[in-house]
Amino acid sequence: MYKKIFFCSITAGILSALCSIIYNRIYFFATEADFSAVLNMLSLIGINLIACLVAGFGYWIFISWLKKKGETIFNFIFSILSFASVAVPISVTLPLTIQYPELFPGLAVPMHFFPALSWYTVRPLFTFHKTLRQ
């Protein structure tokens, strides 16, 4: 079970990182605002992988402790944390060398939802519980 949760987390992290990189490029071409000094490709990959690995660990804790209700409670808490984390890019102060700092939340806020969306997309592909044989 631990391996499946780990591989689910890695898969969700890769999907989330890929979505973040694609969105970053689309946002750049749409607005001509370059935030690569703050959010580069390596940081996007790292942040998304770490977020999904931490989510996988949290998922394992919740299903271990709370059994049947663990997944529901985990999903609820993961969604709340995703919404709460939006406060970070809204309140961050960018360096003075960055042009168009008012456009940064438009780039970073949607990216805060990518790990949760990737987790919810990938999770049904992995079966963690033993099936009952009849």
Domain boundaries, the chain: 2-125
Is residue 17 scored above 80 in pLDDT? yes
Average pLDDT over every residue of 25-34: 93
Tens of pLDDT, residues 54-85 = 999 999 999 999 988 999 999 999 999 999 99
Residue with tokens 């000094």: 37
Interatomic CA distance for residues 40 and 106, integer angstroms = 16
Mean pLDDT over 39-59 rounds to 95
CB burial of residue 125 (10 Å; 0-12, 13-18, 19+): exposed
